Amino acid sequence: MKIALGADHGGYQLKEEIKQALEGMDGIEIEDFGCDCDQSVDYPDYALPVAEKVASGECDRGILICGTGIGMSIAANKVKGIRCALVHDCFTAKATREHNDSNILAMGARVIGPGLAQEIVKIWLGAEFEGGRHERRIEKIRQIEQKY
């Protein structure tokens, strides 16, 4: 599985910790889109390339981190085909994959710590979309994207 990874300055340190954890997982390839510092940068500049790589299929999933995760998730969700979920607990990490078929995970480095973030990533990567009644809802999201 190929993962696109991105963060702004507020998420840089956590991104590096997540990246290190991902490098220790079998079958995971990472493409890091930055940032590479804790100097102030603009989160859309990092959300967009991650979302584009996931939307195009060049990467299977993406992980975005900023201070709260809010800005990253808003920016990523502007890209057609992206279902970016802002997650700060294990239950929603699992539910967003199973029910919403999320393809990008957003987290807030100022909201959760690295241990919980790593557990969320493991759960999110391991969960699969259930389909069934949820597919009907995902199709409605696709129709909204087509309309706008």
pLDDT tens for 38-79 read: 999 999 999 999 999 999 999 999 999 999 999 999 999 999
Half-sphere exposure of 126 (CA within 13 A, CB side): 12
Query: Is 66 considered catalytic here?
Result: yes
The runs of H, that is alpha helices, within the chain are 12-23, 44-56, 70-76, 90-100, 114-126, 133-147
Q: Spot the catalytic one: 9, 59, 84, 99.
A: 99
Q: In sequence order, which residues have a C-beta less than 8 Å from that of residue 63 and are 6 or more positions away?
A: 3, 4, 5, 6, 15, 18, 50, 104, 105, 106, 107, 121
Domain count, the chain: 1
Q: In sequence order, which residues have a C-beta less than 8 Å from that of residue 106 and are 6 or more positions away?
A: 63, 64, 65, 66, 69, 70, 72, 73, 76, 84, 85, 86, 87
Q: How far apart are CA 128 and CA 148, in angstroms?
A: 28
The CATH number for 93's domain is: 3.40.1400.10
Q: Spot the catalytic one: 9, 66, 88, 134.
A: 66
What pLDDT score was predicted for residue 4?
A: 98
Confirm if 71 and 108 have CB atoms less than 8 A apart: no
CB atoms within 10 A of CB 112: 19
Q: What is the mean pLDDT of each run of 10 residues along the chain (148 residues)?
A: 98 98 96 96 98 98 98 98 98 98 98 97 98 96 95
What pLDDT score was predicted for residue 49?
A: 98
Query: Is 134 considered catalytic here?
Result: no
Q: Model-level pTM greater than 0.85?
A: yes
Q: How far apart are CA 140 and CA 70, in angstroms?
A: 23
**Residues of the domain holding 42:** 2-147
